[in-house]
Amino acid sequence: MSAVDLFGVVMSTEAFVSMVGEIVVACLLILAVVIGLKHKGVYHHYILLIAYLSDELVFKVIMYSRLRLGVFGDFPYAGTMAPLHISLAVLVTVLGLAAVVLGFKYRIKKDRTMFMPPRGMKWHKPIGILYVVFWFVSFLDGIYIFRSFYL
């Protein structure tokens, strides 16, 4: 297993990629929320989709593979916040999928614009808000785990 030295902190390559990737996803989520608040539906839609898919298909896969390898020891990972992080990761996956599906289901495309009618906002917006809030709670929990494991 190769290691990366970042500002004196030695970590595995997978941990480094996961950490940097999650920071990028956090930036994309913030950008998507800001763009959504400015009613730029097309950009909001695709940036959020990229953030969700990269998180689910790359970074959560790395997290689960590291857990399977026993990085934190045996389940229930005594002394860590890993069980909470895993539970939040599953919840975030479900909420994100629901928000994406509802976003596709209710969107309206006209010319080069895309928008969500009030009927769609009734469900998409609160589920999307929950997704972002719980994603950031999971992100902060992941930072805590990273800090306790590597610092």
The whole model's pTM is what?
Answer: 0.85
Lowest mean pLDDT among 35-39, 70-74, 115-119, 136-140: 70-74
Digit-coded pLDDT (tens) for 29-48: 999 999 989 988 889 989 99
d(CA 65, CA 81) in angstroms, rounded, equals: 17
Highest mean pLDDT among 57-61, 92-96, 109-113 belongs to: 92-96
Type of residue found at 12: S
Cβ atoms 112, 40 nearer than 8 A:
no
* Confidence category of residue 76, pLDDT binned at 50, 70, 90: low
Residue whose entry in the numeric block shows the structure tokens 């390559």: 13
DSSP secondary structure letters along 112-145: TEEE--HHHHHHHHHHHHHHHHHHHHHHHHHHHH
Q: Give the pLDDT of residue 128.
A: 94
Q: Average pLDDT of the chain? A: 86
Specify the number of domains making up the chain.
1
Type of residue found at 127: I
Measure Cα distances from 75 to 85, 123, 131 in Å. Answer: 13, 36, 26
Structural domain boundaries, residue 115 = 3-150
Mean pLDDT value of segment 116-144: 91
Torsion-angle region of residue 108: left (phi > 0), alpha (psi -120 to 50) or beta? Answer: beta
Q: Give the pLDDT of residue 1.
A: 54
